Amino acid sequence: MFIRGRDAYGEQFLELAKTLDISAIGAFITSPRPLAVGEMITLTIPAPSITSSALVPSGMPPIQAKVKRCQEAGDVQLIGVEFLKPIG
């Protein structure tokens, strides 16, 4: 999953994050950057391109989310986000 937004220091970024858990209303991800609670971010889930025989869509539109929690865990941040609009 890609994260785009502003980090806790106000710098804009685009990072690849690892998804630990995801549901229709939110996600738990890792990030190399600390994010501020309350910050709005955009999440993009990459997917393979469509071929004539593919049954899976090529991707989802970007997901707007709000950071609900951020906790340091070694060299990464554990980020809990809530989607502004449920997916699915």
- pLDDT score at 43: 94
Q: Where in the chain are the domains?
A: 2-46+60-83
Exposed e or buried b for every residue in 47-82, given b needs 16+ CB within 10 A? eeeeeeeeeeeeeeeebebebeebeeeeebbebbbe
pLDDT in tens, 21-65: 999 999 999 999 999 999 999 999 876 655 544 444 556 789 999
State pTM to two decimals. 0.82
Helix (H, G, I), strand (E, B) or coil at 33: coil
- pLDDT score at 55: 43
Q: Give the whole-angstrom CA distance, residue 88 versus residue 75.
A: 32
Better-predicted residue by pLDDT, 5 or 55: 5
The CATH number of the domain covering residues in 2-46+60-83: 2.40.10.220
Q: Give the whole-angstrom CA distance, residue 21 versus residue 28.
A: 5
- pLDDT score at 62: 92
